[in-house]
């Protein structure tokens, strides 16, 4: 039986007891639902904002293309409710060139070039810092964004002095805080693309959009262009050779998995997804509370280059 504390976030109530009067001033923690007067009132007390960022990519025949947006938005929303901080609307598209498949196949992925993503993240961050936010916490939902994001995170920090953080609340091949939650053995890659974890989280979000009648267990394999002496088991860009992972190749998703599903989604449940969201959100919330104790000195606030 999975322990489920529901949405009361009881584990964190002692951390936010002093926030009730502050909470009563706001109808929402979503920046898009607030007026500028609300933003001004918030900034009198806090200077932290969460920025969910995702990608818009195919997730096999049984999961919605919104899957990574679901991941980052749900964690951001829960963290915001737990500790009374604002979050932005999501950056819903990201770096996903490997998920395009062949022209005319209708996979649905919308990717943007790395330069465009870096420009978008930069301008979102500079806009928020311009308004008075000093702590920008990006809540990432998509692994491939990690490949390209470091330069802009450093740029934002160097240009402004703001506290910039990038959080990765998901599993892939790092179990972390989700230890013991998934039933699939490691060889069934429970944390990978459209497998047990992501399917469970989508069920927890809205089971109406999960087509379990289409779900199947599929394994990643070595791309055809590599010799059989190499081996591949998940969606990472590295592959095994002689039992070690020193070789990395630029590979498209369809070259090592045709369906888009890496692993076994058949043991997914709504309860597992709810528990995963709870654990990840509470962990992130505790971290953000710690970051609010850090002294931050923004030396350049105005977003001057906003029209270039």
Q: pLDDT digit string (tens) for 124-168?
A: 999 999 999 999 999 999 999 999 999 999 999 999 999 999 999
Q: Quick one: which of 194, 146, 207, 140 has its CA closest to 170?
A: 140
Rounded to 10°, the helix 67-83/270-291 angle is 50
Q: What per-residue confidence (pLDDT) applies to 259? A: 92
Note the pLDDT of residue 1.
31
Per-residue pLDDT, 5? 36
CB 196 within 8 A of CB 268: yes
Residues in the chain: 308
Which residue(s) pair with 138 in the sheet? 51, 166
- Give the confidence band of 173 by pLDDT, cuts at 50, 70, 90: confident
Residue with tokens 């002496």: 229
Domain map (residue ranges) of the chain? 10-177+277-291
User: CB neighbours (10 Å) of residue 162?
Assistant: 22
226 burial (CB, 10 Å; 0-12 / 13-18 / 19+) is: middle
Closest CA to 215 of 62, 64, 107, 65: 62
Q: 200 burial class (0-12, 13-18, 19+ CB within 10 angstroms)? A: buried
pLDDT band with cut points at 50, 70 and 90 for residue 295: very high
**42's tokens:** 């918030």
Contact 46, 292 (CB under 8 A): yes
8 A C-beta contact, residue 170 and residue 71: yes
Question: What pLDDT sits at residue 201?
Answer: 98
In the prediction, which pLDDT does 218 show? 95
Class of the CATH-defined domain 10-177+277-291: alpha beta
| Residues paired with 166 in a beta bridge | 138
Distance of CA 230 to the CA centre of its chain: 30
- Provide, rounded to the nearest whole percent, the portion of the chain with pLDDT above 90: 90
Largest CA distance in the chain: 64
- Average pLDDT value over all residues in the chain: 93
**9 pLDDT higher than 90:** no
Q: Rounded distance, CA 260 to CA 253, Å?
A: 7
- Give the per-residue pLDDT at 78: 97
Packing angle of the helix pair 146-160, 114-131 (nearest 10 deg): 30
CA 19, CA 137: separation in Å to the nearest integer? 20
Task: Quote the pLDDT of residue 4.
Answer: 36
pTM: 0.93
Rounded Cα distance, 283 and 274, in Å: 14
* Residue located via tokens 């649905």: 108
Whole-number Å distance between alpha carbons of 47 and 196 = 37
CB 12 within 8 A of CB 83: yes
pLDDT (average), residues 216-224: 95
């Amino acid at each position: 039986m999975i322990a489920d504390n529901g949405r009361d976030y009881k584990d964190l109530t002692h951390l936010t007891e002093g926030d009730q009067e502050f909470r009563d001033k706001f109808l929402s923690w979503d920046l898009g639902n607030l007026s500028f007067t609300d933003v001004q009132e918030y900034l009198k007390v806090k200077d932290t904002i969460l920025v969910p960022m995702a990608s818009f990519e195919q997730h096999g025949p049984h999961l919605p293309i919104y899957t990574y947006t679901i991941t980052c938005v749900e964690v951001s929303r829960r963290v915001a409710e737990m500790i009374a901080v604002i979050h932005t609307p999501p950056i819903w598209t990201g770096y996903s060139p490997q998920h395009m498949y062949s022209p005319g196949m209708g996979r649905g992925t919308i990717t943007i070039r790395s330069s465009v993503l870096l420009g978008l993240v930069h301008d979102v961050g500079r806009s928020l810092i311009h308004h008075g936010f000093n702590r920008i916490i990006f809540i990432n939902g998509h692994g491939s964004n990690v490949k390209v994001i470091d330069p802009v995170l450093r740029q934002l920090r160097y240009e402004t002095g703001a506290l910039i953080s990038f959080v990765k609340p998901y599993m892939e091949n790092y179990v972390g805080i989700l230890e013991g939650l998934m039933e699939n053995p490691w060889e069934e890659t429970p944390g990978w693309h459209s497998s047990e974890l992501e399917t469970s989280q989508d069920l927890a979000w809205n089971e109406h959009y999960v087509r379990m009648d289409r779900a199947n267990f599929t394994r990643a394999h070595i791309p055809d262009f590599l010799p059989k002496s190499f081996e591949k088991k998940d969606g990472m860009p590295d592959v095994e050779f002689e039992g070690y992972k020193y070789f990395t190749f630029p590979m498209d998703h369809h070259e090592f998995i045709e369906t888009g599903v890496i692993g076994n989604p058949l043991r997914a449940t709504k309860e597992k997804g709810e528990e995963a969201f709870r654990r990840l959100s509470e962990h992130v919330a505790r971290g953000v509370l710690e970051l609010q104790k850090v002294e931050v000195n923004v030396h350049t606030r105005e977003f001057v280059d906003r029209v270039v």
